Structure formats: C-alpha cells, structure tokens
Structure 1
Amino acid sequence: MGETSTTAAVIGAGPAGLAAALGAGKAGADVVLAAPPQGVASRTPDLRTAALFAGSIALLKNLGAWSQIAPHSAPILAIRIIDDTGALLRAPEVVFTAGEAGYEAFGWNIPNAVLVSALMAAAGAPGSRVRVLETAGITGLSLGGDLARLTTQEGESFQARLVAGADGRNSISRSAAGIATRTWQYPQAALVTTFAHTRPHRSISTEFHRPAGPLTTVPLPGDRSSLVWVEAPDVAKGLATLDDTAFGNALEERLQGLLGGVGEITPRAVFPLSGLTAEAFGRNRVALVGEAGHVIPPIGAQGLNLGLRDAATLAECVALALARGLDPGGAGTLDDYNRRRRPDVTSRIATVDVLNRSLLSSLLPVHLARGFGLVALKTFAPLRRIAIREGLGPSGDRSPDDVPALLLADGVRLLSERAAAKSHSSAA
C-alpha cells in the first residue's frame, strides 16, 4: 500500500502556519498540518501578544477564527510616540489616531495563546480541509519530481505537491529547498510580559524611543497592557530576574507615570534581537511562511502581520494554480508567490532596521534627522496619514485587486471569484 498523498503540507503550527493551512484549504487544497501534540504544546504556553492590523483581522474572520478571538482582544485606537532618547533636540510627542485615517481601529492586540487556540479550532471545524497530524516533528523532507516526501519523527511518511514551511528561523524546510539566508544581529534583547496598571490606557499604544531601543506598551482588555521592553542583553536579563515589586518600580519609572502604578505582572521572557531574510520565498516545492522567510525586531508590530500576509498570498497563488489546472507546488506558482511577497517583506525589513539603528546611533545628524521627521509627522496631517497607511501594510492605499483576497471583507468569495476570473482570462 502506497503512501498517502495530499495537495499541501504545512510544517509548523504557530499562527502563521495555521493561517497558511486554513488559507490553502479555503483555496481548495487538501492540507495536512504537522503540529505538536496538544498536550506538549500546552506545557509551554506562549505568553506574548500580537498587535494585528485590519488586514490580519479580516483574514482571521475569513478563516472562521475571529469570533473566538474577539472577546480576548483589545482595539488599538491611537499610537503615541514619545522621544525618550535624551538627545540635544528632543522631538515632540506624536499621536496617530485611527479616526484621522478613516479606520475604526489600527488593529487589535491579541494574546498569542488565544490566537493559536482559535485557529486550531477552525482547522478542526466541520467542513475544514485541514487534517491535523500530531507529531513530535518532521525529521525528513525529500524534494524532487512531482511530489515532496515528508517523514515524521514517529516514522510516518506522506507526500505533498506543495510544502508550506512555517517552521521558524531554523527552518528544516528552507534548508531542504536549498534556500540561503542573510542574517544579522542587534546588540539588544526584548523583554516581554503583560501587566496591570492603575490608569486606563484609553486604547492607546505607546512607544518610548530610548537609546537602548523602544519600550512599547499595547492595550489589553481592562486596565492591562502588554510590554515589549528593548535593552542591552545583560540589562534585559537583569530586569527579568528582579522580583515583581522591583520590576514594577523600574517599569513605573520608565513609563514616567503614564499608566500609573504597576500591578500584577505575568512571567517575563527575554528574546535576543536579530534579523533574517531568505534569498527566495519559494523554491523546490517549498513556500516559506512567517519566520522561516523573514525575521525582524518587534518594532512597529510588523512581524506576525507579515507572516499572515504570507499565508493570504500563498492561498491566492494556490487558488489560481488549481483553477488553471496547474501544479500548486510548481515553479510557476512559487515564482508568483516570491514575486508578490518580495516588495512587502523587503520594505518592512528596511524600515524597521533603519528605525532601530537610528535609536542606537550616537551620531548627532542621525538624531536630528529622526527628530525633524517626527516634527514633520506632528505638523503635517497629510504626511501623517501617508505614514499610517504605509505602517498598516500594503492594503492601505492599493486597489483591492492588488491585495490578497483573504485580507479583504468577504475574502473567501473573492478568492474563488478571482481564481475563476484569472482562469478564464488565461484560457481565452
């Protein structure tokens, strides 16, 4: 009896991998999702949160996950930037509001554990084309010919026409496909946690620009916020070892009274900051999704939003290939995916890198340029609106036809219609 075969296999069950699996299923593919056993996953909970923009929220709605997530999320109605660099020229405080750009909200802040749970529930819902294969890991990936062959740690093997590698920065799928990367390090680490406070956040996310890097608070339901505090690695590790009282005092000082007194603090974690970009996002039957293809510092809430746009774009490429009777894992499909993702990923990496390095730089001209930029954003409303649209991603001011369908309202219907229309166009 031969091995089982499926249209697509997804390696990795984080938010981006789950979205890729569900998106490919909505595109008409039968999908096998390789995921760790639920008992194992629950023993190592992800305490981080994700600030997701409107396009990502539309994707979650189209994938059937948003109704479970919404009660645990908090809207971000404004973004405040405070210059705390101590530079000779202190830039003015700048506040971007969603309303001035015509948005209900910039996005919503969601606990990662809630996000993963809701997406996993959608994968197991009636009518889903996703089959969850619980495994301790994929240990073998053989690429060649018309099918990829995957082997689990338990010895089970199966075949797929397309492999979506959502297996993180040390991706085995990327290595198997022979895709090289460019990597770099920052002299920084991010401390993440959530905390209660006595003053309301008023649905405002605040970013303090400091010489060691940004310190960002993002609203959670009630009088709670998530925190990403970037420091030199030894300082971040030292903060993580403080008792809650000492850490709360240090945080109150850094927040300059913005949120009042600091209350209950969840366990803290520290992550070194680094960057990575793949030379190609698709090759040899493998499409890279999320941190398998790109890693950036947690600045401007770009990382997971990029990964979810990967998932939405891959779904559209798969839908188009299936509608045309083409190979969803073939070179043409993967070239299309790579072409569509490259500009978005490259521009986000460059923007975040420049902003982060401008904080680390001791050069006066760099600080002057950053300060004058913030003055311009505070003074000129049209420039501020442009910055908002660019920050929220490629759907800001592009034609809906240029945006992956699953990032738009009623995206499942649009996905089918676009694939059908392009199929008829190519046949004519």
Structure 2
Amino acid sequence: MATLPPKTESFAVAVVGAGAAGLSLALALAREGVPTALVGRHAPVADGRTVALLDGSVRFLDALGVWAAIAPHASPLAELHIVDDTGSLFRPPPARFVATEIGLDAFGWNVESARLVESLRAAARAAANLTLFEEDAAGFAAGADAATITLAGGGALSARLVAGADGARSRLREASGIRPRSWAYPQSAITTILAHTRPHRDVSTEFHTRQGPFTLVPLPGGHRSSLVWVMGEGPAKRLAALDDDALARAVEHQAQAMLGSMRIDGPRGLVPMRGLSVPSPVAARLALIGEAAHVFPPIGAQGLNLGLRDAAALRDAVMRAVEDGRDPGSHAALAGFARGRRLDARLRTTAVDALNRSLLTGLLPVDALRGLGLLAMTTIGPLRRVVMREGVLPRLGAPSLMR
C-alpha cells in the first residue's frame, strides 16, 4: 500500500459521489454506527428532472429518516396508463395499471430531483458517524488492507471499502480497471415541469411513440406534471430551442390535450440517451453503485430506483460483514452483493433497452410482439399483478430496508 500523507483519516467505508445514491448509502451506514466518509461536491440539481420513487425506495428513504421531509413535496402515482401512439397495425388498446390491485396506495411518489438531493444533503450534514469531504476525489488505489482516496485539494483518506457513486464517467471505475460497455441511442430527452388546466388525478401517462416514450408524471397540487419526452436527437434540439410558449403548445399537442392547456413551469433540460453496463460492480476494495455501474434511458422509472437498491444492498453486505467480524472490503464480503446487483441490473437494462429499441424499429413482427405483450398484461390479471410487483421492487433478494 502506498505511503499516506501524515494527516490521513481512516474510515470503515468511504462513499465517493454526493448524488442521491451516494448520499443514501452514506446515511444508511452512518445510522448503523459505521464510521463513514462522504467525498464529493454538492453541486446544484436544476434541469427540470424529477424522479418517480417506487415503493421500495420510499421505504428505504423512510428508514433513513428523510422521507418525512420529502413527502409533502411528492405526488402519489396511483395509476399508470400506457398508450400506444406508434401508428402500428398491431396497436393494442390503452393499458391501465392500478396500485390498489397489488395492495399499495401508490406505485411510488414523484418528486423533483433537486428536492430529493437537498433533503438527503441536509440529513448527511447532521448525521453522526459521517464525515463530509466536499471536494472531488482525484485518485483511488487499492491496497491489501485498505484503499486510499486522494482528494482534489491535496489531502487523502483511507477506508476498508470504497463505494463508487461518482456517476457515468466514474474515475474510480476507471482507476480500478473495470471496463464498462457503453452505447448510445439516436435520441435525446427533453425534461421540464408543466402546469396544466385539467387535473392529473395522480395518474402517470406514458405514450409510446415511434421516436421513444413521451411521459407525463404527476406532481403535487393536481395541476402540475413533469415531462420526459424522448425523441430523435435532431427533433429534440429543435424543440429545445423553442421559447416556452411554443414548447408548451408542442407538448399539449403530443399529449392529445388530455391535461388541457399547458405552460412551462420549471427549468428545462436536454439529455442525450446513453447506456452503460459493467461486467461486475466490484473490484479490489471497491463496489460501484448507481450510474457508475449502470446507465439506461429514463423509461419505466427504473434508473435511480435501481441505484437506491444498489445502495441498500451494499449497506446489507457491509452490515453482514461487520456483524460476522469480517473485512467489509474483502472479496468474500462483496461476492453476494456482486451477484445480486449483476442480475438486477442486467434484467432492468435488458427490459428498458428492448422496449426502447422496439419503438424505433418499425418492424411489424416487433410491433406485434410488443402489442401482444401489453395486451396480455392488460387482460391476464395474475400476469399483470406479477409485472406490477416486479416493477415496483424485485421480490427475490430485495434489500432489508426496502421490504
């Protein structure tokens, strides 16, 4: 192991990355009494994005003591409607999924990303057993007994385990030698927040178009929704260049005026559609979570929820190691985490990728399969309930704080 600077602090776990996944993991460990460091700048989040926190994620945040601060600013997702707007010959009727059918008041809750992250940051700043280093990590090196993180400001710290939550361009992933597979889609997503004259009634509506999904997700108050509009890169750039009034009219037209007149009521973003996966989320003294381990299009509310499951699962792995007196950064301690997260990420990535590509192809056999699948979920009750439950939280291997 490299020689450390004389004032290096030592921790059981160091989390690198101060987004929602990294913050939640750091809080989860600190609340268990694990000496934890959180490394990362607390940058602003303001591009019009929201996150639909599914039921398991809400349970996790509640266990961390932060849901009470978030809940007043979140809207329940009581129903999901899917409308095939591809113009296909095999277009099925609109599908309706209702949370009460699987014993839930809501599939999840939609909240602005900035509100979620700021609530987690406030809890992190007040948490015992958690030391914040509000700067970037400049380097990572794994040793026999601990890993070393060098900081952009010149300092360093050591930890038995490092959790890489530093995003799609993860420096820790690169330094560890994990080689990701990455790909791009010929699409971008316009994100913003809308006000509308008709109430959303806690219904999230997803139109499947030939360029990608167009999704309206409820926000509090009954007359505000968030938008994720996936389309070709060229059309997305042209729409993003419109003024607010013209963009609102385009959204209203695409939504078939189902929510009445619309206006832009928040910041706007333009997000390129990318994908990324890793052969394994672990390396020597390192575990990757969130977008450091997987990236896929914002379809089906799976991205951040998968990252929060990573965090909750890594918390479980660390606590098992601590309770058994084992090294939390050892290969044995992380083996189960790696297996479970590979499977979960692979299933979600494959499903989202297949749906997105099926919309783009325009091939009749692919349209037929997609339409038959949606029709089957609509008409076969047991299948529909299984799909809804798995979409909210995988029943096999669910982290303890999400059950």
TM-score where L is the length of structure 2? 0.96
CA contact (8 A) 1:244 1:265 kept: no
Task: Report what 1:272 is aligned to.
Answer: 272
Task: Report what 1:84 is aligned to.
Answer: 85
Superposed, which structure 2 residues align to 1:238-249 within 5 Å?
238-249=238-249
Task: Report what 1:6 is aligned to.
Answer: 11
Letter of the structure 2 residue corresponding to residue 299 of structure 1? I
SS at match of 1:71: helix
- Going from structure 1 to structure 2, the CA distance change for 1:10 and 1:255 (only over 3 Å counts) comes to same
Task: Report what 1:405 is aligned to.
Answer: 400
Q: How many residues align?
A: 397
Letter of the structure 1 residue corresponding to residue 138 of structure 2? T
Letter of the structure 2 residue corresponding to residue 278 of structure 1? V
1:158-206: per-residue Cα shift (whole Å, max 9, x none)?
1111100000111011112111111111111111111100000000000
1:65-97: per-residue Cα shift (whole Å, max 9, x none)?
101101100000000000100112221000000
Superposed, which structure 2 residues align to 1:30-179 within 5 Å?
30-36=35-41, 38=42, 41-42=43-44, 45-126=46-127, 128-135=128-135, 137-179=136-178
Task: Report what 1:420 is aligned to.
Answer: none
Q: What is the deviation of 1:322?
A: 0.7
Q: What is the deviation of 1:2?
A: 4.8
Letter of the structure 2 residue corresponding to residue 32 of structure 1? A
SS at match of 2:393: coil
CA contact (8 A) 1:53 1:305 kept: yes
SS at match of 2:126: coil
Letter of the structure 2 residue corresponding to residue 162 of structure 1? L
TM-score where L is the length of structure 1? 0.90
Task: Report what 1:183 is aligned to.
Answer: 182
Letter of the structure 2 residue corresponding to residue 317 of structure 1? A
CA distance in 2, matches of 1:226, 1:242: 18
SS at match of 1:146: coil
CA contact (8 A) 2:47 2:192 kept: no
Q: What is the deviation of 1:363?
A: 0.8
1:233-252: per-residue Cα shift (whole Å, max 9, x none)?
11111111101111111111
1:323 paired with 2:323, answer yes
Task: Report what 1:355 is aligned to.
Answer: 355
Letter of the structure 1 residue corresponding to residue 154 of structure 2? G
1:198 paired with 2:193, answer no
Task: Report what 1:421 is aligned to.
Answer: none
- Going from structure 1 to structure 2, the CA distance change for 1:237 and 1:269 (only over 3 Å counts) comes to same
CA distance in 1, matches of 2:352, 2:90: 22
Unaligned runs of 5+ in 1: 409-428
CA distance in 2, matches of 1:168, 1:351: 21
CA distance in 2, matches of 1:355, 1:215: 13
CA distance in 2, matches of 1:86, 1:363: 12
Task: Report what 1:411 is aligned to.
Answer: none
CA distance in 1, matches of 2:304, 2:190: 17
CA distance in 2, matches of 1:258, 1:65: 34
Q: What is the root-mean-square deviation in Å for CA atoms of aligned residues?
A: 1.3
One of 21, 24, 27 as aligned partner of 1:19? 24
CA distance in 2, matches of 1:187, 1:263: 28
Letter of the structure 1 residue corresponding to residue 287 of structure 2? A
Q: What is the deviation of 1:46?
A: 4.7
Task: Report what 1:214 is aligned to.
Answer: 213
The worse-fitting range, judged by mean Cα deviation, of 267-276 and 253-262 is 267-276
CA distance in 2, matches of 1:18, 1:47: 21
CA contact (8 A) 1:191 1:269 kept: yes
